[in-house]
Amino acid sequence: MFSKKIVMIVGVIVLIAVNLMALSVTGRRYHTHGLGQIAISLITPFQKTTTRSISFMRNVWNHYFCLVAAKQENDKLKEALSRAIEKNNRFNETEIFNLRLRKLLNFQKNMVEQTLVAEVIGKDPSPWFKTIIIDKGKSDGVERGLSVLVPEGIAGQVIDASPHSSKVLLIIDQISAIDALVQGTRARGIVKGGSNGQCFFMYALRKHDIRVGDTIISSGLDTVFPKGLRIGNVSKVIKQNFGIFQEVMVTPCVDFEKLEEVLVVLNAKSISDVNDK
């Protein structure tokens, strides 16, 4: 028994020979008779099959190259699109940064005190401490005890300074305390950090009329935070039937989750209420 491979090879040879005979016969200009006509009738189906096979292979070959070219072009377009998206993203981020910086610089112009712009470069991962790290330190004039602000209000206080960076205690930390007052009624109290990003206005006398929505500002009496800067807004008031104080919860004006740039006040003199300017 012959193998399939040998049979296929022999078949191809026979097919080629028959096609050559057909070309020889059809190439003659005189009318064929007898054996020639029989040969033509026998090879015609094979010739059609061969022609169709060659045409099919040619189409497959051409389409293959077209697909390869299309894939290469598609890859180039995807790469160009990725570069365009990345470039657009950098442009948007730069625009957002410029808006934040412009807002910070406009706020800085209203400050009487000398201030320094600093960037937030780290946050304390611990849930018990609310601190951030800024990229300015002793070499820039930053010292322990200086107040840290943003256009929305007070952010915190420098508690440690190294040559090129500093740690800032945020006002939402439980050990933070700011001497403050209600902007409208001038009721006095101490703003201390609480839980869940809230603060408490401590030691506010029950006799004072404090309402939800009232603005709490720094009094300047602690000689740390300049007078008149916003701390937060009253979000809850509880007056008991006994005692001399009322419980007041304050929502900070600063969104500490979005803190990226801050102002460090380089001297401790009191300033006027910049929010009224």
184 vs 78, higher pLDDT: 184
Class of domain 115-272: mainly beta
pLDDT at position 270 over 50:
no
With H, G, I as helix, E, B as strand and everything else as coil, classify residue 120: strand
Instruction: Tell me the CB-side half-sphere exposure of residue 231, using CA atoms within 13 A.
Output: 37
pLDDT in tens, 3-34: 555 655 655 566 556 555 555 555 444 444 55
pLDDT for 276: 41
111 against 2, higher pLDDT: 111
pLDDT, residue 107, reads 67
Distance of CA 9 to the CA centre of its chain: 65
Q: How far is CA 69 from the centre of its chain?
A: 36
Residue 178: CB atoms within 10 Å: 26
What are the boundaries of each domain within the chain? Answer: 1-24+33-109, 115-272
> What pLDDT was estimated at residue 29?
43
Cβ within 8 Å of residue 80, ≥6 positions away: none
Mean pLDDT of the chain: 78
Instruction: Find the Cα–Cα–Cα–Cα dihedral 203, 206, 212, 216, rounded to 10°.
Output: -40
> In this structure, are strands 177-182 and 204-205 parallel, antiparallel, or unpaired?
unpaired
Burial class (CB within 10 angstroms; exposed 0-12, middle 13-18, buried 19+) of 30:
exposed
Q: How many alpha carbons lie under 13 Å from residue 137 in its C-beta half-sphere?
A: 12
Rounded to the nearest angstrom, the gap between the alpha carbon of residue 51 and the centroid of all alpha carbons in its chain is 61
pTM of the model: 0.63
Residue of 136, 141, 176 whose CA lies nearest to 155: 176
Helix (H) or strand (E) holding 232: strand 230-238
Residue 147 pLDDT more than 90? yes
Residue 84 pLDDT greater than 60, yes or no: yes
Render pLDDT for 248-267 as a digit per residue (tens, 0 to 9). 999 999 999 889 999 999 87
Q: How confident is the model at residue 125 (pLDDT cuts 50, 70, 90)?
A: confident
Q: Do residues 277 and 117 touch, judged by C-beta distance below 8 A?
A: no
The one-letter code for the residue type at 162 is S
Give the span between the Cα atoms of 219 and 149, in whole angstroms. 15
Token representation of residue 39: 């040969």
103 has a pLDDT exceeding 90: no
